[in-house]
Amino acid sequence: MKILVVDDHALVREGLCQVLQGIEQEVEVLQAGTCAQAFDLARANLDLDLMLLDYHLPDMTGLQALRIFGLRHPDLPVLMLSATADLELMRMVLQAGASGFATKSSVSAELVAAVRQVLAGGLYLPQELRSLSSPGGETPEKPASVLTQRQESVLQLLLDGRSNSEISASIGISQETVKTHIAAILRHFEVQNRTQAVVAAARAGFLPSSSL
């Protein structure tokens, strides 16, 4: 597994590297202190599994960088990091294509959980922001959907970070049927992969089970 950590503070990068070593033994962590360095590393390492991207960087914001990465590496999941739990910032980075948002104040176990959730194709939100409330305190409503009830069940499990085999076992359908439902979900949200579907679903108001 190969993970890119982008943060302009060397001590923060080293701390994140130590935390990431707890995910599995064979994890290679690359480090970048600027977005320019991150772009070069991503171009040279097309087998990246995940990127941890700080929002406050010296050459551009993490949000700007996220949009560029989305164009150049659309299949690379990105977990955005911020020093503060800011609801509006979380909304913006999810809309820009991030697969999760975590605060730097998170304890190691929570950060590991966030990384595992994103690597599994799920969407991660910090505990303090999981309501996904709008500034007015209202939760966005789900749009009129052409998804079937079964497809919504599969989508819910995708949001929870479940694999195809786990979805199959959870609702008692074959893995081939799971793939069929996921294909329908991708068409519904007009996206190319499950990570993008999870992000699009979150923007549309669908929530992970832990947020309900």
Which amino acid would we find at residue 26?
A: E
Whether residue 55 is predicted with pLDDT greater than 90 in this model: the reply is yes
β-bridge partners, 4: 30, 51
Considering the chain, what is the average pLDDT of its residues? 84
Whole-model pTM: value is: 0.66
User: pLDDT value at position 84?
Assistant: 82
pLDDT band at 175 (very low <50, low <70, confident <90, very high): confident
Percentage, residues of the chain above pLDDT 70: 89
Which range (74-83, 114-123, 124-133) has the least confidence? 124-133
Higher pLDDT, 138 or 176: 176
Q: CA-based Rg of the chain, rounded to a whole angstrom?
A: 17
Tokens standing for 163? 């694999």
> What does DSSP say about strands 28-32 and 78-82: parallel, antiparallel, or unpaired?
unpaired
For CA atoms 1, 169, 117, 70, give the dihedral sign: positive
- Asked if 198 and 208 touch (Cβ cutoff 8 Å), the reply is no
With cut-offs at 50, 70 and 90, classify the pLDDT of residue 197: confident
* DSSP-H helix ranges across the chain: 10-20, 35-44, 62-72, 87-95, 108-119, 149-159, 164-171, 175-189, 194-203
CB atoms within 10 A of CB 42: 20
Residue 176 binned pLDDT confidence (cut-offs 50, 70, 90):
confident
Looking up tokens 């070069």 gives 40
List domains and CATH numbers for the chain: 2-129 (3.40.50.2300), 149-211 (1.10.10.10)
